[in-house]
A and B are shown apart, each in its own frame.
Chain A
C-alpha cells in the first residue's frame, strides 16, 4: 500500500506533458475560436453574443476598400513570393553545389534578415528609397517583402538541396546530360516540392506582413493588414472579426494544400542509399 508514490502524484507527473500541451493549444486557439464565433454575432458589441447573423460577412464583401486592399495584398504576395522563391532556389543550389569565393557570405547574407529587426530593415529601406528618389508603391513594397521572405525561401530550398544525393547528378552527366539538362531534368524536379512549399510560405508571410508594409506602401497600395490596422483605430467591429475568420480559413486552406502535396511524398520517401564508399 505504501512506499510507492501515490496515485495522485503519479497521475500529475505523467499527465503533465499532456496538460501542458492542452493548455498551449487552448491559449493558441481560443482567440481564433472567439474571433470566428463573434463574427456571426448579431450585436455590434464584441462582448455579448445576442444572435446569429451573416450580415458582417455581407458587409466585408461589399466594402470596396477591403476588396482593393485584398487585391494589393494578393499582387504583392504573388510577386514577392515568386521573386523570393526564384532567387532563393538559385542561391540554394549554388550554395550547396558550387564552391565559389564569397559562398559563406552569400549564405549568411541571405539569412541575415531573419535576425535583423524588421523595423530596422523597413526604416533602412524607406531612407534608401527617399534618398534615391524612388516613389513608394508596388515596387518598393515588393522589394521590402522579398527582403523579409527570402531567408525562409532560401532555407527551405537549401535544406532540400543539401539532402539530394550528388551522385544522382553525376549519373545524369554520365548519361549525356549537360549542366542545363541536368539542372532542369534532374535537380529541379527533385526540388519541386520544396520550391512549392517555399513559395506558399513566402506568399503567406508577405500576405500577413504589417511592419514592412507600413514603411514601404505608397498611395493606393494599402494592403489588407494595413487596412485592418487602420479600421481598428475606430474600434473593434464584427466586420473585422468576419474578415479575420475569412483569412484564417484561407490560411488553413493553404496549409492543407501543402500537406496534401507533401504527405504522400513523405510517406513514399525513398530509403536512404548506402553510405558511400569513397576510395
Chain B
C-alpha cells in the first residue's frame, strides 16, 4: 500500500461526512410523543431543524412547546418516537450526554458560584486546563458584554445581567445547538427588544443552530428563520415568518398570528383548479386549496385587516374580490395605524387597518365601500 493510499484512506471518510452534514438536520424529531399520566403533552410530532437555523417553537401556554424543548435537551425522555441530534439517535441518552446546551427562563445560575465560576462550570466538567478555561470564560463574558462582573454572585445581578451570564454559560462550550426556553420572558419590554436584536446577531455570527421557545408571536416573527406553530401538542404549521403570516394553513394559525378577519363562507361550485366561494351573496373565485369539497361545504375566508381596501378604484374592483358596503362603528387610534371596525350588510364586522395620516381620520357613522381583494383572501377548510 502506498503512502498516497494511506492518505486517501484517512481523508476518504471525512469528505462524504462533511458533504452529508449539510443535508443532515441539526435536530430531528420523528413521531415524538410525550405523555404525563393521561395527559398527552406532545402528540406524535415530526420536526427537522436545519443546521445554522434560528428555529422557533411558538404557541400559547400548554401547547407542548416547552416539553418539546425539554425532550430535545434530555430532561424528559419521550414516551414514543425518536430524537436525533446531528444525525445521532439520542432518544434514550441522558441530558449530560447530549451535545446541546439550554438557556432557561429562570436562568438557573448556580447561586453558590460567582459569574466566572458559573461560566467555567461546563469547562471544568470537561476538565479543560486552567489557562484554556480562563481564556474561554473571558471570551464568553466578552461576547455577552459582561466582562468586569466576573466575581459577582448571581444574587447581586439584575435580571438582564443574569440572562447574559446564562447565555455565556451555555455558549462557552460552543454547542452545535442552543436551546432557549422563553429566555426573554422575564425582561421588561425595552430590554427584551434589545436582546432580540442582539441574540439574532449573535446567532448569525456564531453560526449556531438556535431552537427558541416563545409564546410571543411578535418575538417569533422578528427573530426566526422558521417557526413551528404548536397547538395542543401538535404542530399546526412550519413556515418562515412571512409564510406563517401571509399563508396560514387553518383558522387556528390565522387567528393566532396577528389579527385576522375570519368570514364564514360556503363553497358554491368550481373546477379542479378553482373554487367559487359565496359570502353574503357575493361570489369570488379562488385557487382550490387541498381538501376542499366540490360544493356546499362551509369554509372560512381569512383576510388581514391591512389588506382590505377602503373606497377602491374601479380598476381595483375589476381585478376581482369581494366588495361590500360598510358603516364605520368604531375607530381606534393605535399610533402608527388606525384600526377601523365596519359593520357590513348582515351585521358581520370587518376590521380594517390603515396607516395613520393626520389628514383623514374617519368618524363613526361614515359609509365606505370595502374591497376584499381576491389575492388577499385565503380559503381555509379547517
Contacts and interface: CB of A to CB of B under 8 A. Distances in A.
Interface of A: 165, 167-168, 170-178, 181-182, 185-186, 189-190, 192, 268-271, 273-274, 276-279
B186 A174 contact: no
A174 B95 CA distance: 5
Interface in B105-140: 105-112, 121-122, 124-126
Contacts of A170: 73, 75, 95, 102, 104, 108
Interface residues of B, number: 42
A165 B73 CA distance: 18
Contacts of A178: 94, 96
A172 B66 contact: no
Interface string B49-77: 00000000001011111110000011100
Contacts of B101: 174-175
A174 B96 contact: yes
B105 to A, nearest CB: 6
A53 to B, nearest CB: 50
A279 B65 contact: yes
Nearest to B213: A279
* 6 closest Cβ pairs, A-B complex: A279-B66, A270-B155, A171-B108, A175-B122, A173-B95, A273-B106
B110 A173 contact: no
B61 A174 contact: no
B300 interface: no
Given A176-B122, A181-B125, A279 B63 contact: yes
A186 B95 contact: no
Nearest to A174: B102
B75 A168 contact: no
Given A274-B105, A279-B66, 9 more contacts: A165-B106, A172-B110, A174-B74, A175-B125, A175-B169, A269-B155, A270-B155, A277-B182, A279-B61
Contacts of A174: 73-75, 95-96, 100-102, 170
A173 B111 contact: no
A173 B75 contact: yes
Nearest to B59: A279
Nearest to A169: B108
B121 A175 contact: yes
30 contacts: A167-B104, A170-B104, A171-B110, A172-B110, A173-B74, A174-B74, A174-B75, A174-B102, A175-B96, A175-B122, A175-B170, A176-B96, A176-B126, A176-B173, A177-B121, A177-B125, A189-B112, A192-B112, A268-B153, A270-B111, A270-B154, A271-B155, A273-B106, A274-B105, A274-B185, A274-B186, A277-B61, A277-B185, A279-B63, A279-B213
